[in-house]
A and B are shown apart, each in its own frame.
Chain A
Amino acid sequence: MKTNDVIFQTVAKVVFFMIIFFAVHLFFAGHYYPGGGFVGGLLTSGAIVLLLLAYDMKTVRRGFPVDFKWLISLGLLFSVGTAAGSLMFNVPFFTHAYDYFQLPLFGKTSLHTAMLFDLGVYLVVIGVTMTIIQTIGESE
């Protein structure tokens, strides 16, 4: 049964981007303030689920032409790779590097390798959540 929910679909389109931006904000805030890859990833997948509710699986697939299982592997690769990078410098596993940089537009910014690890977490969370929701929602 396909209902014609114009209002829901229009609102979803707008709210989707708001949630995504908030998720990205949380992701970057995570280093010093509450937030991080896990919450960011959950919010992002929440946004995608909203689209799923408003439209259907096929439309969402067209919007995100990625295999979510592949996203899990990619995220794991990021996280493991970041942690294993310390092997090359012969420092204990998981040791992260950081420094302050003068960037145009942002000014003095601290950049950490821990962010790459968090990016991996972000991708894994999106991948896992969406895979599960797809598995359960598939037959409907």
Chain B
Amino acid sequence: MEILMCIVAGLLFAAAVYLMLSKSLLRIIIGTGLLSHGTHLMLLTMGGLKAGAVPVLGEHAATYTDPIPQALILTAIVISFGVTAVFLVIAYRAYQELGTDNMEQMRGMDTDD
């Protein structure tokens, strides 16, 4: 199961890299979204995928789920939500101000402003 999840995370990273290398700003933002999804899946897998029991329990549990990676992922999700939101707003403003969402055309000279 862990290996499968690692492969899935790798696929997400690959897709994210592909999208982030494209010229369109919106694709880049979707790429960052996929990147953070991949990261979160990786984090979950890192904690070990044990199924079948609640996180918090006594001293002698046969099986349990580690709650820490889940807490970390929750935090990371909230943070990536915030960052994506800020990024979207900046990209939108840039589109309005510069009149393009193409990174190639955005690469103007410093004298252009």
Contacts and interface: CB of A to CB of B under 8 A. Distances in A.
> Does chain A touch chain B in the assembled complex, meaning CB atoms less than 8 Å apart?
yes
Interface of A: 38, 128-129, 132, 135-136, 139
B78 A128 contact: no
A132 B78 contact: no
7 contacts: A38-B74, A38-B78, A128-B85, A129-B85, A135-B89, A136-B92, A139-B96
Contacts of A38: 74, 78
A129 B86 CA distance: 10
B69 to A, nearest CB: 16
A128 B92 contact: no
Interface residues of B, number: 8
Contacts of A139: 96
B82 interface: yes
Contacts of B78: 38
Secondary structure of the A side of the interface?
A: helix
Nearest to B78: A38
B43 interface: no
Nearest to B96: A139
A136 B82 contact: no
Nearest to B84: A132
Interface string B69-90: 0000010001000100100110
Max chain A C-beta neighbours (<10 A), residue from B78, B92, B96 = B92
B103 to A, nearest CB: 20
Nearest to A36: B74
B50 to A, nearest CB: 19
B102 to A, nearest CB: 19
Given A38-B74, A128-B82, 11 more contacts: A38-B78, A128-B85, A129-B85, A132-B85, A132-B89, A135-B89, A135-B92, A136-B88, A136-B89, A136-B92, A139-B96
A51 to B, nearest CB: 20
A139 B93 CA distance: 11
